[in-house]
């Protein structure tokens, strides 16, 4: 169901070592848009904790909040870089941005479209011991809206609002547990949204960060078990040549 952290990187740039990949560079990476929160989930709240219904995959939202390449500071940097060709470059970049937003929106819905009848089931591996950003909080500094990733980033919190519960969920630091399971909520009793479908065999959670999951010895041990084990319950009624479960 996407990642709020990936979205936030598009707004402020992505830290890499002692430097940062700027917004105008991230905006040229098609796969980055595909990591945004799914249209089904609440991805933005205001400082009172109320959910906002802004359409993430609509360029008008980005222009209204002056995010990414629509930030005046980013635009000024682009103009300084491209000189006389800046206007043409910005126009092309804006068109590209809108196009990639729409492509990402369609990609997200394609992921949650029920598959044709198939014996394939997915085995999910993830982390659930780290409080992970689940949605951004919109705070205004004078007339400029700023999207906060963590509760501690909010400059003027409203008394009584439990930002930690509203903005964070168990995960691996990048992907939340509900996102991995293609669910909108942590509540296991809540029914699965009919517009969100993924055929899951089972899942396994570890106390590990996102970028260290594949190096975790327990991940490697369980992955090997998945790859070597045949005649699992979901394969019993399938032909002998049926494919093994996919691993995510």
List, for residues 73-117, the tens digit of each pLDDT value.
999 999 999 889 999 999 999 999 999 999 999 999 988 887 778
- In terms of Cα–Cα distance, which of 47, 55, 2 is closest to 166? 47
* Distant-in-sequence, close-in-space partners of 235: CB < 8 Å, separation ≥ 6: 119, 242, 244
**CA–CA separation, 116 vs 96, rounded Å?**
33
- In terms of Cα–Cα distance, which of 59, 60, 56, 3 is closest to 31? 3
Question: Across the strands, what pairs with 21?
Answer: 14
**CA–CA separation, 28 vs 39, rounded Å?**
22
- Asked if residue 190 has pLDDT above 60, the reply is yes
6-10, 154-158, 211-215, 243-247: range with lowest mean pLDDT: 243-247
Question: Model-level pTM?
Answer: 0.84
Name the DSSP letter for residue 139: E
First vs last Cα of the chain: how many Å apart?
Answer: 13
Nearest-5° Cα angle at 112, 109 to 116:
115
Burial class (CB in 10 A: 0-12, 13-18, 19+), 152: exposed
Are 119 and 234 in contact by the 8 Å Cβ rule? The answer is yes
Beta strands in 14-78 (DSSP E): 14-16, 19-21, 44-46
**Residue spans per domain, the chain:** 4-111, 122-247
pLDDT > 90: what percent of the chain? 70
**CA–CA separation, 228 vs 109, rounded Å?**
33
Task: Quick: pLDDT tens for 24-76.
Answer: 999 999 999 999 999 999 999 999 999 999 999 999 999 999 999 999 999 99
Structure confidence at residue 188 (pLDDT): 78
Structure confidence at residue 246 (pLDDT): 56
- In terms of Cα–Cα distance, which of 145, 152, 124 is closest to 219? 124
């Amino acid at each position: 169901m996407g990642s709020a952290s990936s979205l936030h990187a598009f707004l402020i740039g992505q830290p890499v070592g002692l430097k940062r990949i700027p917004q105008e560079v991230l905006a040229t990476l098609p796969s980055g848009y595909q990591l945004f929160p799914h249209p089904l989930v609440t991805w933005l709240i205001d400082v009172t904790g109320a959910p906002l219904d802004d359409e993430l995959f609509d360029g008008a939202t980005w222009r209204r909040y002056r995010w990414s390449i629509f930030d005046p500071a980013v635009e000024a940097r682009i103009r300084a870089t491209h000189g006389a060709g800046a206007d043409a470059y910005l126009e092309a970049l804006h068109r590209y941005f809108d196009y990639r937003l729409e492509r990402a929106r369609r990609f997200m819905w394609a992921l949650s479209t029920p598959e044709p009848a198939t014996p394939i089931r997915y085995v999910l591996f993830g982390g659930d011991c780290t409080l992970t950003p689940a949605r951004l909080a919109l705070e205004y500094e004078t007339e400029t809206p700023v999207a906060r990733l963590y509760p501690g980033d909010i400059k003027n919190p409203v008394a009584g609002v439990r930002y930690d519960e509203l903005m964070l969920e168990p995960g691996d630091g990048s992907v939340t547990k509900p996102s991995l399971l293609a669910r909108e909520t942590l509540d296991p009793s809540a029914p699965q949204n009919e517009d969100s479908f993924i055929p899951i065999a089972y899942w396994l959670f570890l106390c590990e960060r996102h970028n260290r999951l594949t190096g975790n010895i327990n991940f490697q041990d369980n992955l090997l078990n998945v790859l070597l084990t045949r005649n699992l319950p979901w394969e019993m009624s399938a032909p002998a040549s049926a494919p093994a479960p996919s691993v995510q």
